[in-house]
Chains A and B, each alone.
Chain A
Amino acid sequence: DSGVTQTPKHLITATGQRVTLRCSPRSGDLSVYWYQQSLDQGLQFLIQYYNGEERAKGNILERFSAQQFPDLHSELNLSSLELGDSALYFCASSVAVSTGELFFGEGSRLTVL
């Protein structure tokens, strides 16, 4: 158990809908990362927050947004969903803003029908 909690574990929705994925980092970790994993693209970095502020942005679509709250939990919002958004979405956390040692949650599997 990494200590990172993600909900929901599975989510099935329709095209055009909006969903919110939630992540609680390990106790004491200030940095939260979101990654998308699909069969053909592998693990892709989306966005990083550190202590409530956005620190780095990857290939995150404009339809996607995220935030980190004062209690350090984070939410990833996905809107106007398309079939191609079906993937595993992982949250990871770390103590420091600059470290490659990330602790990943078990992921949220999104299926868009």
Chain B
Amino acid sequence: EDQVTQSPEALRLQEGESSSLNCSYTVSGLRGLFWYRQDPGKGPEFLFTLYSAGEEKEKERLKATLTKKESFLHITAPKPEDSATYLCAVHVSGAGSYQLTFGKGTKLSVIP
């Protein structure tokens, strides 16, 4: 069974304190790995798509990287507005369309 595991479940950072969130996956035939951000009471918001090991994507203070077994979301000098739950999801081959399997997320709190 395809699995996506995110760690840690929760992370508290001081403003400006850089860190990384982890998403490990055990799937056969990865076709894409996706990062989303979810604010309380809102739907997930798309951040990044990664397709192959070694690929990196950046957006403001966020950088996503991908290896053959895991992905990292690096947060550089975070601000309080970066507080949210970060979800990763995978799409595997064999699915006729984009059925994403999501991890349970990492809840990030950035303290001023």
The residues of B that contact A43 with a CB separation of less than 8 Å are 44, 87, 89, 102
Contact with B along A53-95 (1 / 0, CB 8 A): 0011010000000000000000000000000000000101010
Count residues on chain A whose CB falls below 8 Å from chain B CBs: 26
The residues of B that contact A102 with a CB separation of less than 8 Å are 44, 46, 98, 100
The residues of A that contact B43 with a CB separation of less than 8 Å are 2, 4, 90, 92, 104-107
Cβ-defined contact, A58 with B99, below 8 A? yes
Q: Complex formed: what's the CA distance from A90 to B45 in Å?
A: 12
The residues of B that contact A8 with a CB separation of less than 8 Å are none
A102 CB → nearest B CB, Å: 6
Cβ-defined contact, A56 with B104, below 8 A? no
Q: Complex formed: what's the CA distance from A98 to B92 in Å?
A: 12
The residues of A that contact B102 with a CB separation of less than 8 Å are 42-44
B29 CB → nearest A CB, Å: 14
A91 CB → nearest B CB, Å: 8
Cβ-defined contact, B41 with A104, below 8 A? no
Cβ-defined contact, A100 with B100, below 8 A? yes
Q: Complex formed: what's the CA distance from A91 to B45 in Å?
A: 12
Q: Is the interface of B mostly helix, strand, loop or mixed?
A: loop
Contact with A along B82-112 (1 / 0, CB 8 A): 0000010101000111111111110000000
Cβ-defined contact, B97 with A98, below 8 A? yes
Q: B32 — nearest CB in chain A belongs to which residue?
A: A100
Q: B44 — nearest CB in chain A belongs to which residue?
A: A104
List 9 interface pairs A-B (beta carbons < 8 Å), by A numbering: A42-B87, A42-B102, A55-B97, A97-B98, A99-B98, A101-B46, A104-B44, A106-B41, A106-B42
Known: A55-B97, A97-B98, A104-B43. 12 other contacts (CB 8 A): A2-B45, A31-B97, A43-B89, A44-B102, A45-B101, A48-B98, A56-B97, A92-B43, A100-B49, A100-B91, A100-B100, A106-B43
The chain B residues found within 8 Å of chain A, CB to CB, are 32, 34, 41-46, 49, 87, 89, 91, 95-105
